[in-house]
């Protein structure tokens, strides 16, 4: 954990550059800035930056409730367009088809177009912002998100890869020559387990048949999700399935802009903590 030692009432710009993420950091949302000066609701924060940032955040989502912002820093940094730290919390967020029950974000070293904001222009990011995030989803949120293009595409690719790897040889051949269509995605969350299902249509089947995988999950270096002891279930209500030993450890790449530090699967809910990079438009 980094501790800052400010030399004056306004810390230097370097004090607020985003630090490298420690992969061994604890699972709870880290607070590397606990030695920052007590937040001051200056004229710049209260009348210029807070309204501009609130408007920008609302423009990024389809829906949000209870949006709370806390901007911290000294006027000298803010006048240059550097926001040392922002803490954001909200409920019932819908972002690009993702339904989030609760979310907490902490961004540091945020560079914005302050001079343009003073002229009435909308806020824009001037560089990528690393953001610590904690996200809570209910099982219903997850299923609602599966109806949107972003998460549905991820799950579709995952299940197709599992099929091609031989997860259900009775339903489709793994040679990749049989056209496959997956629809009606659904999910169930239980302690330590995630069940993903879809309706599978292929030229080998006259009507859609269920394709269901139940698995644990673990992360590697924050960049990959791995299946743990996956099973193929013959029906959605099956208590036991067919162990897929060859797919144990199967990796799902998350991309360079996402880093998962902790993933908790509970009773009909999940919690994800990690880092995302918010990119300028």
Q: Apex CA 133: angle with CA 98 and CA 20, to 5°?
A: 135
Other CB atoms within 10 Å distance of the CB of residue 140: 14
Question: What single-letter DSSP state applies at residue 54?
Answer: H
Cα-only R_g, the chain: 22
Instruction: In whole angstroms, give the CA distance from residue 129 to residue 125.
Output: 8
Predicted local confidence at residue 150, as pLDDT: 84
Q: What's the CA gap between 21 and 118, in Å, rounded?
A: 33
- Residue 171 has a pLDDT of 61
Note the pLDDT tens digit of each residue in 104-131. 999 999 999 999 999 999 999 999 999 9
Beta carbons of 225 and 254 less than 8 angstroms apart? yes
pLDDT in tens, 58-106: 999 999 999 999 999 988 999 999 999 999 999 999 999 999 999 999 9
Q: Which residues contact 154 (CB under 8 A, 6 or more apart)?
A: 252
Total residue length of the chain: 281
Question: In this predicted structure, what is the pLDDT of residue 17?
Answer: 43
- pLDDT < 70 stretches in the chain: 1-41, 166-179, 202-206
Q: What's residue 246's pLDDT?
A: 87
In angstroms, the CA 74 to CA 15 distance is 12
């Amino acid at each position: 954990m980094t501790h800052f030692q400010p030399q004056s009432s306004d810390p230097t710009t370097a004090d607020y550059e985003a630090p490298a993420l420690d992969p061994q950091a604890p699972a709870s949302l880290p607070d590397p800035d606990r030695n920052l000066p007590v937040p001051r609701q200056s004229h710049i924060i209260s009348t210029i930056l807070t309204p501009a940032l609130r408007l920008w955040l609302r423009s990024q989502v389809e829906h949000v409730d209870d949006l709370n912002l806390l901007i911290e820093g000294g006027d000298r940094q803010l006048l240059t367009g550097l926001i040392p730290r922002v803490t954001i919390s909200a409920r019932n967020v819908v972002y690009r088809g993702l339904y989030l029950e609760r979310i907490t974000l902490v961004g540091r070293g945020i560079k914005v177009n302050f001079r343009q904001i003073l002229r009435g222009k909308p806020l824009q990011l001037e560089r990528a912002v690393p953001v610590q995030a904690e996200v809570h989803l209910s099982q219903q949120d997850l299923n609602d998100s599966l109806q949107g293009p972003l998460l549905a595409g991820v799950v579709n690719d995952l299940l197709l890869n599992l099929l091609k790897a031989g997860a259900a040889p009775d339903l489709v051949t793994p040679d990749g020559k049989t056209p496959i269509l997956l629809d009606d995605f659904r999910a169930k969350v239980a302690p330590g387990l995630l069940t993903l299902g879809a309706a599978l249509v292929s030229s080998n089947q006259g009507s859609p048949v269920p394709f269901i995988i139940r698995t644990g999950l673990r992360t590697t270096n924050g960049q990959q999700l791995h299946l743990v002891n996956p099973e193929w279930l013959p029906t959605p209500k099956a208590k036991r399935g067919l162990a897929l030993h060859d797919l144990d450890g199967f990796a799902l790449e998350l991309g360079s802009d996402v880093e998962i530090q902790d993933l908790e699967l509970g009773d009909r809910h999940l919690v994800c903590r990690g880092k995302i990079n918010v990119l300028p438009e």
